[in-house]
Amino acid sequence: MSGKTTFIRSVGINSILGQTLNICFAKEFATPFFKLYSSIRIADDVLENTSYYLKEVLTLQEFIKSSQDPEPCLFILDEIFKGTNTIERIAGGKAILSYLNSENNMVLVSTHDIELTDFLQKEKFDLYHFSEQIENNELSFDHQLKEGKLKTRNAIKILELYNYPSQITEDARETQKKIAPTQNPTSPI
């Protein structure tokens, strides 16, 4: 909602425009010539008997092969492994992103997994985020890229803002306390 996917798409589009037409929509854009790989819009395929997760596994396998090419690659990934469970999504995502992030390559990834960002920060990834503001029960976005990892969690509050039944939001808050008992859900982590 705050602009993560739009931002990484814009980088990909500008990379293509800059390398092919020598123009882009930016004040400045300087990169080496990249081969561009994207996994923003992956979908399952019933006719091919391929689940969402398997389709992503196969796509990332191609990224891994391409990452060994001598030419630099730009890998753009939106919500890596969202088709599987949390623990393996974070573990597998960290391993693959670390592998792709070689000296030749650049990796842009969006994620809601704050735990994944902790691992990536240790792997020399630069972290940036977009955030929402909730004031007077109004949700707004400034669409400004900010340095560092996101420090708030507001998904349940947004459910409340959109009039979800209190039974659902209270249940969600109680479950959240069991999962992360020391973290206040709407304050810095």
Please compute the mean of the pLDDT values over residues 99-113 and round it to a whole number. 91
Instruction: Indicate if the pLDDT at residue 183 is higher than 80.
Output: no
| 141: helix, strand or coil | strand
Let me know if residue 68 belongs to a domain.
yes
Contact call for residues 88 and 119 (beta carbons, < 8 A): no
Domain span at 60: 4-129
Let me know if residue 120 belongs to a domain.
yes
Confidence band of 53 (pLDDT split at 50, 70, 90) = confident
Please compute the mean of the pLDDT values over residues 89-117 and round it to a whole number. 92
What's the pLDDT score for residue 189? Answer: 39
Report the CATH number at residue 18: 3.40.50.300
Let me know if residue 172 belongs to a domain.
no
Q: How many domains does the chain have?
A: 1
Confidence band of 188 (pLDDT split at 50, 70, 90) = very low
Let me know if residue 163 belongs to a domain.
no
User: What tens digit of pLDDT does each residue of 121-151 get?
Assistant: 998 899 999 888 888 888 888 888 999 988 8
Let me know if residue 14 belongs to a domain.
yes
Cα–Cα distance for residue pair 110/23, rounded to 1 Å: 25
Let me know if residue 138 belongs to a domain.
no
Q: What secondary structure does DSSP assign to 26-71, as a single string?
A: SS-------EEEEESS---BTTTTB-HHHHHHHHHHHHHHHTTSSS
Give 95-104 contacts, CB < 8 A, sequence gap 24+.
96/60, 96/63, 96/64, 97/123, 97/125, 98/123, 99/64, 99/67, 100/63, 100/64, 100/67, 100/73, 100/75, 101/125, 102/67, 104/67, 104/69, 104/70, 104/71, 104/72, 104/73
What's the pLDDT score for residue 78? Answer: 93
User: What tens digit of pLDDT does each residue of 110-129 get?
Assistant: 998 888 999 999 988 999 99
Let me know if residue 170 belongs to a domain.
no
Let me know if residue 100 belongs to a domain.
yes
